[in-house]
Each structure stands twice: as structure tokens, then as C-alpha cells.
Amino acid sequence: MSNEQNSVVENPWRRLREFTDARIGLGRAGVSLPTKELLEFQLAHARARDAVHLPLDLDATSAALAGLKLEWAAAPICLHSRAEDRMTYLQRPDLGRRINDASRELLKAQHGQLAAEYDLAIVVADGLSSCAVTENLVPFLQALNEKLSTDSASDWRIAPITLVTQGRVAVGDEVGELLNARCVMLLVGERPGLSSPDSLGLYLTWNPSVGLTDASRNCISNIRPAGLSYSEAARRAFYLLSEAKRLKLSGVNLKDRTQDDVVETIASSKNFLIS
């Protein structure tokens, strides 16, 4: 072991690795990577591939949501996109953006028994990483519910939560439209990286309808313990929800000001070139 360790040339940047999950300062063994680093890379690659192909356990997810003891999460509505299987989903992104006919009819039947209009519909899709949903969905919703329940400005009317198998981002627009929701929040497993196979993404759209583009959505990415914390993600999401509800818009016209260090005045927002 000592001979093997001595054969590895350390990289002076290695100490920076404690600040990032990126693969930097790996060192070298001859002209190649050290065996340990190569094996860790192969393991990360395998985890990323597994995250893409692992199916979402609907029963376990439904049970976890029921454990939240929230009326809108107690009995999730399970839907399916137009992509019949995982291979079709990966080869035909367009089919993952719409729910199939059976799901559409189910949602119409369910909505007939529900209220006429909601402030918010929360849609969960497996996306490209079901483990991101499994690991991060419940703790994030707990943090978000704390924000929503303390909002004294209004009473949020939330539609029953929906789970979409083989779903992509745009599928939330169709579900939100069918539920007659003024705003839809889609939670989806993001494309796995070699250091983040469990990243959950959030997409928020005001007045959802089929055919909208990404310009109509606001995004919060990398929600997970090693990324954006649940409490911070919930804080940003609640801000966007509140502003979308107040201004009745989302996307490029709705800016996330939660990171601003100073309060801007109306005068400072003017263009000095034409003032």
C-alpha cells in the first residue's frame, strides 16, 4: 500500500476539494488517474445511470405524502404521460410533456368532484431522476407548507397533489390547466450529474396552459441536502408564489429578489440613458 501511495503524484489544488464536489486536484499515477479516483468516477457514473432508469415507487411516495397529514397531499392522483415506457420517454421528450388520454379523463372525473378553482396545483414528475423525488419531495413540501401556513395575507387553496410517471417539465402546464389552477408548481427529478444524482428541480408557472415555453416559467434548481437546502428552497419558492399571485405573471417578467442585498427604489430602476 505504501508503494502504491508513493506512486501517486499529489496535485497542490487537492485541498480545494473540501469546498466543492467537483473533481479537481485528482493527482496522477504516471500519465493516468490514480486507481482510487478512477473507481470513484465509475461509481458516480453508475449512480447517475441508475437514477435515470430507476422507476418511481408510486405506493411508497403516496404513503410518504399521506404521512404529511395535509389535506391536499393525503390522496395523490396518479397520472401517466404519453410515453408508454422508459425507453420511449428518453427517445421522445415530446411525449413526456403531455398526459395520456386515460390520465386526462381521470383528472377530468376527479376535478368534477373538486372545487371550481385553486390558487396552486402541485405536480410531481419523476423526470430523469426518481431518487431525487423519493429523497427530497417530502422534506421540501414540509418546509413549503410551513411558509404557506404562516401567510396571513391570504388563504391558499391548493389542489390535490398529482404524481406523473414518465413526465417532463411541461406536463405540469396541462395538469394545472385541467385543475383550473391559477398557478402550477412542478417538482421534477433533474438530469443526474456525476456528483448530483438526486437533484430536485422546481418550475413555477402562472396561468398554466398547454404550449407554454420556458420563458413563462421560473426555476429553482438543485434542491437537495448537498445543494440548495429545503428551507432556502421553500423561502425562494414562497417568494415567487407570492409575487406571481400579486402580479399575476411568471417567467422572465418575474424576478427572484430573495438574493438582493439592498432594496431598490423606483428611481433606481429607471434607465439613466433616457431619464
Q: How confident is the model at residue 261 (pLDDT cuts 50, 70, 90)?
A: low
Task: Write the pLDDT tens digit of every residue in 175-198.
Answer: 999 999 999 999 999 999 888 899
Residue 273 pLDDT grade (very low, low, confident, very high; cuts 50, 70, 90): low
Rounded Cα distance between 107 and 103, Å, is 6
Q: Name the residue type at position 271.
A: N
Nearest in space to 168 (alpha carbons), one of 91, 251, 257: 91
Beta-ladder partners of 191: none
Residues 190, 222: contact at Cβ < 8 Å? yes
Considering only the C-alpha atoms of the chain, give the largest distance between any 2 of them, rounded to a whole number of Å.
Answer: 73
User: Is the confidence at residue 256, as pLDDT, over 50?
Assistant: yes
Summarised one tens digit per residue, pLDDT across range 25-55 is: 888 888 888 888 889 889 989 988 988 999 9
Which grid cell sits at 188? 421534477
Instruction: Say if residues 188 and 129 touch (Cβ distance below 8 Å).
Output: no
Look at residue 271 in the predicted model and tell me its pLDDT: 55
Q: Is the pLDDT of residue 266 over 80?
A: no
Q: Where are the beta strands (DSSP E) in the chain?
A: 77-80, 121-125, 162-165, 183-189, 200-206, 217-223
Share of the chain above pLDDT 70, in %: 89
Q: What strand order describes the sheet that includes 183-189?
A: 77-80, 162-165, 121-125, 183-189, 200-206, 217-223
Quick one: 157 exposed, middle or buried, by C-beta within 10 A (0-12, 13-18, 19+)? middle
Residue 174 C-alpha cell reads as 396541462
Q: Which three cell numbers stand for residue 217?
A: 416559467
Q: How confident is the model at residue 212, as a pLDDT?
A: 95
End-to-end CA distance of the chain: 71
Q: Is the pLDDT of residue 133 over 90?
A: yes
The larger pLDDT score, comparing residue 110 to residue 231, is at: 231
Cell of 183: 398557478
Which pLDDT does position 141 carry in this prediction? 97
CATH of domain 53-253: 3.40.50.11240
* Helix intervals (H) in 112-202: 130-149, 171-178
Query: According to the model, what pLDDT value does residue 272 have?
Result: 46
Instruction: Give the mean pLDDT of 214-237.
Output: 96
Taking the model in full, what pTM does it have? 0.84
Supply the DSSP symbol for 129.
-
Q: What's the chain's average pLDDT?
A: 88
Query: Please, which pLDDT band fits residue 134 given cuts at 50, 70 and 90?
Result: very high
